[in-house]
Structure 1
Amino acid sequence: MIREVWNYRHLLMNMSKSDFKNRYSGSYFGVIWAIIQPLMTILIFWFVFQVGFRAQPISNVPFILWLCAAIIPWNFFTDAIINATGAFTNYSFVVKKLVFKIALLPLVKVLASFFLNIAFNLLLILIYSLYGDFPGIHLLSIIYFNICLTALITVLAYFLSTLNVFFRDTTQIVGIFLQFGIWLTPIMWQESVIPESFRWIVKLNPIYYIINGYRDALINRVWFFEHPLQTLYFWGVTAVIGIISFFFYKRMKSHFADVL
């Protein structure tokens, strides 16, 4: 599969660009909506917590910096997962073509969302810079955690997109889980509010590793390799999900054309 992706990398890139543009085709502002919608979400949360609840600085940084360090990678995760879940059903017209490498389709959706993620990561760096807190060399950690996030999204995408072919309610169920996920993950709240004896439960969520890693890199200037056990756990969980996902995809792909 990796070899196929490399051989068809130009097709993958072109389809991803086209998929990203088609999301907003026909609207007056076009792809600008891709920036406006997540940005408004950030501003709403900032207004509610900073202005409404008068949240105090956390970890010696303004609340907006602490919030953005978590919500920007979460936005990439939710956008990519929701779109990738419908990869095979949205492109059903090419799934039925035997000559087309359908293994590319979930990656098309993930890469399309990644374009937007790049823009928001640049915005994140700009916000920190305007507050006089440019992360410097620790931007390397941000690159690493983007690789982690993309890997996790990709392995989940193959499982969910395959399941969605046979169970079309998958997209709606995933959307509900993501709504709960933003509150079950320490994005809007600090993990310190949970008794220390129960914090390990929060850390079981692989997204925690990425959210905490972003904040460590941008706020605390801590490298990812300073948490070796969490790193091993994350990649172990990602590998297990990947094995299950690709096995499920391989077993079921021969039935795609019949169902679609």
Structure 2
Amino acid sequence: MQLIKNFAGDVYRNRKIIFSLALNDFKMRYAGSYLGIVWAFIQPIMTILVYWFVFQVGFRSGSVEKVPFILWFMSGLIPWFFFSEALMSATNCFFEYSYLVKKVLFKISILPIVKIASSLFVHLFFIGVMILIFALYGIYPSIYTLQLFYYLVCLVGVTVALSYITSSIVIFTKDFGQVIGIVLQFGMWFTPIMWNYKMLSENWRWLFKINPMYYIVEGFRDAMFNQIWFWEKWNETLWFWDITLIYFVLGFIIFKKLKPHFSDVL
């Protein structure tokens, strides 16, 4: 618990510089292009449209859990977009900010959070778009929709925890970044985004439920249309936070042990 308190204290004390760096990072990503930051929104929108066309128009996928396929699919894909993009960005953050890593007085532990916060700007926009599209289909926000804030905390929490592991290791083994990319590709199919986990027998469901993103994806759906509170799934909630805490502690142990050698390698 002391580790979490210290981490939260560091984030709070450096909140202004985190926001400033995150905003600058978001702007600089698309600097020099004609459309600028508009590209940050075009790619995810086009991806959703392609998948919608393939599955709903091409394969004629019907309703899932009594909602149109596109709504069911979107509520799973949007949190995955954030997770994969934020984790990859945070994994390479020490390379990108190598000039800050070499500064003795700079708190480099905030750099993964900067990259994750930068990705959060686009994610918040897409949450708003998702709510709007649901409303166009006649599914309006309810008291359950407020759970999106909780699941957003879950999403950021597990991404931060994993990023300290990946960003620390990739400095010494650059191929590890490619491994993360491959794992994310497989992870998208291991997570019930395009398929319903209820298709599986009870004997196999546990295998997919150990994936933290399963909890978040299903949580988004619970908030948007299943109307189930997160505490009603208390066993899955406890499992998610237990595994996230393990990732967090492991990440900080690895980060603390390898940090003194960062500047030598970079």
Under a length normalisation based on structure 1, what TM-score does the superposition of the two structures give? 0.98
Q: Of 48, 51, 57, which residue of structure 2 is paired with 1:45?
A: 51
Cα deviation digits, residues 28-71 of structure 1 (max 9, x gap): 10110100001111111100000000001111111111001100
Q: Cα RMSD (Å) of the superposition?
A: 0.9
Q: Which residue in 2 is equivalent to 1:61? A: 67
Q: Of 111, 120, 125, which residue of structure 2 is paired with 1:105?
A: 111
Q: Of 147, 156, 175, which residue of structure 2 is paired with 1:150?
A: 156
Offset of residue 170 of structure 1: 2.0
Q: Of 131, 136, 140, which residue of structure 1 is paired with 2:142?
A: 136
Q: Secondary structure at the match of 1:31?
A: helix
Query: Is the 8 Å Cα contact of residues 148 and 210 (structure 1) preserved in structure 2?
Result: yes
Letter paired with 1:157: S
Structure 1: 4+ residue segments shifted above 6 A: none
Q: Which residue in 2 is equivalent to 1:120? A: 126
Query: Is the 8 Å Cα contact of residues 85 and 170 (structure 1) preserved in structure 2?
Result: no
Offset of residue 2 of structure 1: 2.5
152-161 vs 214-223, which moves further: 214-223
Cα deviation digits, residues 165-202 of structure 1 (max 9, x gap): 11112221111111111111110011122222111111
Map 1:61-80 → 2, pairs under 5 A = 61-80=67-86
Letter paired with 1:68: M
Give the distance between the partners of 1:8 and 1:59, measured in 2 at CA.
Answer: 43
Q: Which residue in 2 is equivalent to 1:13? A: 19
Give the distance between the partners of 1:90 and 1:161, measured in 2 at CA.
Answer: 11
Q: Which residue in 1 is equivalent to 2:225? A: 219
Letter paired with 2:140: F
Q: Secondary structure at the match of 1:253?
A: helix
- Paired residues, number: 260
Q: Which residue in 1 is equivalent to 2:89? A: 83
Letter paired with 1:127: I
- Matched residues, percent identical? 46
Letter paired with 2:75: A
Letter paired with 1:62: P
Unaligned 5+ runs, structure 2: 1-6
Q: Which residue in 1 is equivalent to 2:167? A: 161
Letter paired with 1:170: F
Offset of residue 3 of structure 1: 2.0
Offset of residue 4 of structure 1: 2.2
Q: Which residue in 2 is equivalent to 1:203? A: 209
Give the distance between the partners of 1:61 and 1:122, measured in 2 at CA.
Answer: 19
Q: Which residue in 1 is equivalent to 2:260? A: 254
Letter paired with 1:239: L
Letter paired with 2:32: G
Offset of residue 216 of structure 1: 1.4
Unaligned 5+ runs, structure 1: none
163-172 vs 76-85, which moves further: 163-172
Give the distance between the partners of 2:186 and 2:163, measured in 1 at CA.
Answer: 19
Give the distance between the partners of 2:12 and 2:189, measured in 1 at CA.
Answer: 37
Q: Of 239, 243, 246, which residue of structure 2 is paired with 1:237?
A: 243
Offset of residue 136 of structure 1: 1.5
Q: Secondary structure at the match of 2:60?
A: coil
Offset of residue 140 of structure 1: 1.5
Offset of residue 100 of structure 1: 0.9
Under a length normalisation based on structure 2, what TM-score does the superposition of the two structures give? 0.96
Query: Is the 8 Å Cα contact of residues 106 and 161 (structure 1) preserved in structure 2?
Result: yes
